[in-house]
Amino acid sequence: MLVFGTQIHIVTAIFIGLEILMFIFQLASYFYWPGDKNRGRYLLLLFLMLLYNITGGLFPDPKINIPINIQEMIAYGTGFLMASYFPYYFYRGFELKELRWHALFGVPLFLMLPYLIFFVIVYAINGKLNVDIRFGMIVPFIYAIVLLWVMFTAIRHKHEVNRNKNEYLEEVSMYCAVTPWLALALFGLVEESQLIEVLCTNTGIIIITVLYLAKSVTNARQEFNRKLNESAIDGISPEEFLASCLHYSLTRTEILIVQKLYKGMKNSEIADSMFISSETVKKHIQNIFRKALVNNRAALIHKLQNRREQ
């Protein structure tokens, strides 16, 4: 079943819609915390997957006012681009150091170079896509199998020390996330229906998203605890301070702002240190006052320091 008068299958359209929503949400979060490199890498992965789904669904289509050979180049190009970025994402996002050479040198040599030679230069000369696919996919397909083995090995080495239940679940999830990557090379070599191709390739993105969110939560907790311990407050221990803040249902951002209020920082200084606007800081402070039932900073500090006596 196709949608919008195009060749995009309805399942492809559903994935595109979901990934657009995910991209918008993560992009907004990235602008809020621009220093989050993991989120930036995930955003790029999501963007490339969107391009792959859109171009793979639309092209080739004689009704589109773009030469068919250009459409084919773009469609295969987004697939190669997605496949090329995948190892780099795992290398940096999941700290798989064994992938460094492949991410930086192997992929350009054995994936991008064959694409440029056979799917751009040779195809532009002879116009015989079937022939170019037959020869142009030999090296990328063999390299995809080799790289898949390297990625599996790197994942196993990462988790083989102190493997607990959570580590085991993450390891299995990473295996599942990597496996559909081989489908990008396979479907470049073998013609298959759009439905099967989209289901296979997007499965990895779903698992990666779950892994990314789980990793983000863990990192956020560790970073929050680090900041909490580093920002010691006179007259109250970090544990007592946190307990007082949680008693009034303050969020993590609000707790970090309260720490800075304790130090006498101005709204503009807090905004600069947290990479947010002064107006956002003002709104957070208003919410903090409302939750703690106070009207000024001095009353807030006194209330949090003396909660047990109240």
Output the pLDDT for position 132: 86
Average pLDDT over residues 2-24: 87
Q: Note the pTM of the prediction, 2 decimals.
A: 0.72
Q: Residue 286 pLDDT > 80, yes or no?
A: yes
Provide the pLDDT for residue 133.
85
pLDDT, tens digit (0-9, with 9 covering 90-100), for 159-177: 776 666 666 777 888 888 8
For position 165, what pLDDT does the model report? 61
Report H helices in 61-112.
Answer: 68-93, 100-101, 107
Report the C-alpha gap between 71 and 78 in whole angstroms: 11
Closest CA to 233 of 211, 206, 202, 265: 265
- Give me 83's structure tokens: 């496949």
CA distance 88 to 110: 14
Q: Among the CATH numbers 2.40.340.10, 1.10.3720.10, 1.10.10.10, 1.10.238.10, which is that of 231-309?
A: 1.10.10.10
In this predicted structure, the answer to whether residue 309 has a pLDDT above a threshold of 60 is: no
pLDDT for the residue numbered 63: 87
Q: Given CA atoms 119, 121, 124, 128 in this order, what sign does their dihedral have? A: negative
Give pLDDT, residue 262.
81
Mean pLDDT, residues 66-92: 91
Question: Which of residues 88 and 214 earns the better pLDDT score?
Answer: 88
197 pLDDT tier (thresholds 50, 70, 90): confident
Domain extent listing, the chain? 10-224, 231-309
CB 78 within 8 A of CB 52: yes
Query: With b meaning 16 or more CB within 10 Å and e meaning fewer, what string describes 45-70?
Result: bbbbbbbbbbbbbbbbeeeeeeeeee
pLDDT at 206 exceeding the cut of 90: no
- Rounded Cα distance between 241 and 263, Å, is 14
**pLDDT for 156 beyond 60:** yes
Distance from chain centroid for Cα 95: 14
pLDDT for res 178? 82
d(CA 215, CA 90): 13
Q: What does the mean pLDDT of the chain come to? A: 83
pLDDT for 306 equals 72
pLDDT, one tens digit per residue, over 231-270 is 555 556 677 777 888 888 888 888 888 888 887 888 888 8
Q: Is the pLDDT of residue 310 over 60?
A: no
DSSP 2: B
Percent of the chain topping pLDDT 90: 26
pLDDT band at 220 (very low <50, low <70, confident <90, very high): low
pLDDT for 169 equals: 74
**32-38-42 Cα angle (round to 5):** 90
Q: What three-state secondary structure class fits 150?
A: helix
249: alpha, beta or left? (left if phi > 0; alpha if psi -120 to 50): left
Residues 88/61, Cβ–Cβ less than 8 Å: no
**Strand (E) or helix (H) holding 38:** helix 37-58
- Chain-centre distance for alpha carbon 293: 39
Residue 78's φ and ψ, nearest 5 degrees, are -65, -35
Q: At what angle do helices 297-305 and 238-247 cross, to 10 degrees?
A: 110
Rg over alpha carbons for the chain, rounded to the nearest Å, is: 25
Average pLDDT rounded to a whole number, residues 204-220:
79
Judged against a pLDDT cut of 80, whether residue 1 lies above it is answered with no
Residue 51 has pLDDT above 90, yes or no: yes
